[in-house]
Chain A
Amino acid sequence: GIQVEQSPPDLILQEGANSTLRCNFSDSVNNLQWFHQNPWGQLINLFYIPSGTKQNGRLSATTVATERYSLLYISSSQTTDSGVYFCAVVTGGGNKLTFGTGTQLKVEL
Chain B
Amino acid sequence: GAGVSQSPRYKVTKRGQDVALRCDPISGHVSLYWYRQALGQGPEFLTYFNYEAQQDKSGLPNDRFSAERPEGSISTLTIQRTEQRDSAMYRCASSFGGPAEQFFGPGTRLTVL
Q: Which of A50, A86, A98, A99 has the most CB of B within 10 A?
A: A99
Cβ-defined contact, B42 with A48, below 8 A? no
The answer to whether B42 and A95 have CB atoms under 8 Å apart is no
Kindly supply a per-residue 1/0 record for chain A positions 91-106, scoring 1 wherever the CB is within 8 Å of any chain B CB and 0 otherwise: 0001111111110000
| Chain A: number of interface residues, binned into ranges | 20 to 34
> Which bucket holds chain B's interface residue count?
20 to 34
B45–A98 CB distance below 8 A:
yes
* B111 contact set on A, CB distance < 8 A: none
Q: Does B18 have its Cβ within 8 Å of any Cβ on chain A?
A: no
For B87-101 the 0/1 string (1 means CB < 8 A from A) is 001010101011111
Which of B44, B99, B109 contacts A30, CB < 8 Å? Answer: B99
Cα A88 to Cα B97 with chains together (Å):
16
> Does B59 sit within 8 A of A, measured CB to CB?
yes
Tally inter-chain residue pairs, CB-CB below 8 A. Answer: 55
Q: How far is the CA of A22 from the CA of B3 in the complex (A)?
A: 28
Whether the pair B43, A99 counts as a contact (CB closer than 8 A) is yes
CA A100 to CA B44, docked complex, whole Å: 10
Closest 5 CB pairs of A and B: A99-B42, A30-B99, A31-B99, A48-B101, A96-B45
20 A-B pairs within 8 Å (CB atoms) are namely A30-B98, A31-B101, A33-B101, A41-B106, A41-B107, A42-B106, A43-B104, A48-B101, A86-B42, A95-B48, A95-B56, A95-B95, A95-B99, A96-B59, A97-B33, A99-B42, A99-B43, A99-B44, A100-B42, A101-B42
Please give the residue numbers on chain A whose beta carbons come within 8 Å of chain B beta carbons, in ascending order. Answer: 30-31, 33, 35, 41-43, 45, 48, 50, 86, 88, 90, 94-102
Question: Chain B: residues with CB nearer than 8 A to chain A?
Answer: 31, 33, 35, 41-45, 48, 55-56, 59, 89, 91, 93, 95, 97-104, 106-107, 109
